[in-house]
Structure 1
Amino acid sequence: MKAVVLGADDQYRIADLDEPAPGPGEVAIRVAYAGIQWGDTMVRDGHFPVPRPFTPGFEASGHIAAVGEGVDHRRVGEPVTTLTTAGACAEVVVAPAALSLGIGDIPLRTAAGLGWGAPTAYDLVNTASRLRHGESVLIHAAAGSVGTLAAQLARLAGAGRIVGVAGSRARADYAARFGYDQILLRDEFPAGLGGDRFDVILDPVGGATRRANLELLAAHGRLVTYGNLATYEPVMVDTNDLLMQGKSLIAYNSNLLSRTHPERLADSIRRALALVADGRLRVDITAEHDLADLATAVQRLAEGAVLGKSVLRVA
């Protein structure tokens, strides 16, 4: 089969590899599209160490071609979206059956766009922060895959006011299509908020932004962290200060959840799929690349040039 391989020299190449076979609890999927996400930049840049050569790709859509022990053989041929630990940028990928969900009539291209972003956004709004009706929300990386989905999900959950932060005017204009009430540019944060406080803040940035977010929490507010786009610098928090205002600092890690409680992550995928199927949640794919163009696609994501979601066309 054809697959993309990332070598020790940090270069992507197309290679011919043997097709993988599913083990117990796994399925083999003939890939139609692979989603491109921030984990791909982390692997390329060495922040997420993996043995090289490595076949990248953590999310895909396609049809189940074979099943392993313990998986219903009737699933062969089923169109699915899947989350993987590696290998989605290939003609066939092996993935956990529990995280390979049937998509019904949703197009395969759209299904690949859900990836890790859709269950992450769903959980940030509904599970981690437990957003309540009428509460205010601040969302960083507003124009990205998670940000555009989280804004829609916050609106569906009854948020009273949704504010986003974006890195450029073009990204702010794009994010405005997804239900934000206000969008600030990154260099306007936090001064441009004029002293506003928020019940929920979603922060994938880290560093100085995280410290500012703690100050922006209203009493009983929840800051949910789910990444470190800007820096891995640790942020020190005085729990006594949090206690006095009833504030909470919550960490969300979808990769960890997939290994400790995959059924919880699968439930969030199902809920996101249902919202997509009935038209209440929009996955916006703005770029589609060929298998041989993965290097370009990952670089564009790293540079902040991707709006919404980009995918790799495999089949």
Structure 2
Amino acid sequence: MVDYQDTESTQEVSIMKAVVLGTDDRFHLTDLDEPTPGPGEVAIRVAYAGIQYGDVLVRNGHFPVPRPFVPGFEAAGHIIAVGDGIDPARIGTPVTALTSAGAYAEVVIAPAVLTLEATGLDPRVAAGFGWITPTAYDLINTVTLVRPGDRVLIHAAAGGVGTLAAQFAKAAGAAAITGIVGNQDQADYAAPFGYDQVLMREQFPRALADDQFDVILDPIGGPTRHASLERLAPHGRLVVYGNIATFEPVEVSANDLLMQGKSLLTYNSNLLSQTHPERLAASAHQALRLLTDGQVHIDITAEYEPADLDTAIERLANGAARGKTILRIT
């Protein structure tokens, strides 16, 4: 994690604007020293930053961090400095980057391995790329291994991951893709992203009759997880990658899964970035290629100023946000 605290130095230190999460659970715009990259890192002058559900979890204390804390986990801009071991020729390159913190500032430090060249890509879209795109790619292509002919069900279908996962599933040859959303507005929004049908949560699972699915993506948790397991076809795969509804544990019998040939999988992109960042980077590169080739589309639905970050995060927390929202930094 980058240390944004003031330090004494005989060198002249540049000052930047940054958004800080305080002990009052509010976001405040303040002045901080610009950070400098260490070994294996790059410094990025941020143009836009992606807003994601991790911001909600940090604000609500589910991810404990020392406060004051500079949040923001997705940055788009250009490299202005590199640390030891990184080719200086990368300076000036337009990039999109996955960070552990600090993207809601004029300068952020990012691991070089998770900083991808984004030449020719709209910086707003580059910020929207963030964690959702490699996550959606991995859920479909490396975790559940969607095959041609598979039937896929995606919860939170109108969100950033959901809208991309549907596109990746279609590209992988899925025979039918069903989305589950919270309300009719979200259903209307999600439908064009490749869904064959979109149902509201109150209709799940009743409206599915006897339908079964080879792959189910579940970031919801609670009773939804049990209902999803019941809808898996033999040899079906349910992947858990969040707990939007509740953090209460869901108990599942491994014996029952074995007898029914069902698999319960998990995916944690943040952990993957720490244990095997090269794997996450490989998926990010593949996803970026599909994006630049026009095979998938990131829908930027809202752009906020730093002073309005509280509003943006609250809309994400209460389910009012759709697609991807971003923060304009410079």
TM-score (ref. length: structure 2) = 0.95
Match of residue 195, structure 1, among 185, 197, 210: 210
- Report what 2:30 is aligned to: 15
Please state whether the residue corresponding to 2:246 is helix, strand or coil.
coil
After superposition, the CA RMSD in angstroms is: 0.5
Match of residue 221, structure 2, among 186, 196, 206: 206
- Report what 1:6 is aligned to: 21
- Report what 1:157 is aligned to: 172
- Report what 2:280 is aligned to: 265
Q: Give the AA of the match of 1:214.
A: L
Task: Give, in whole Å, the separation in 2 of the partners of 1:260 and 1:34.
Answer: 24
Match of residue 99, structure 1, among 93, 97, 114: 114
Q: Give the AA of the match of 1:248.
A: S
Indicate yes or no: 2:139 matched with 1:124: yes
Structure 1 residues without counterparts, runs of 5 or longer? none
Task: Give, in whole Å, the separation in 2 of the partners of 1:297 and 1:9.
Answer: 17
Q: How does 1:229-240 map to 2 (within 5 A)?
A: 229-240=244-255
Please state whether the residue corresponding to 2:33 is helix, strand or coil.
coil
- What is the count of residue pairs matched by the alignment? 315
- Report what 1:166 is aligned to: 181
> More displaced, 290-299 or 157-166?
290-299
Task: Give, in whole Å, the separation in 1 of the partners of 2:51 and 2:27.
Answer: 14
- Report what 2:46 is aligned to: 31
Q: How does 1:1-315 map to 2 (within 5 A)?
A: 1-315=16-330
TM-score (ref. length: structure 1) = 0.99
Q: Give the AA of the match of 1:116.
A: W
Q: 1:292: how far off?
A: 1.4
Task: Give, in whole Å, the separation in 1 of the partners of 2:227 and 2:107.
Answer: 44
Q: 1:293: how far off?
A: 1.1
Q: 1:104: how far off?
A: 2.0
Q: 1:66: how far off?
A: 0.2
Please state whether the residue corresponding to 1:288 is helix, strand or coil.
strand
Q: 1:298: how far off?
A: 0.4
Q: Give the AA of the match of 1:286.
A: T
% identity of equivalent residues: 66
Q: Give the AA of the match of 2:207.
A: G
Runs of 4+ in 1 over 6 A off after TM superposition: none
Structure 2 residues without counterparts, runs of 5 or longer? 1-15
Please state whether the residue corresponding to 1:17 is helix, strand or coil.
strand
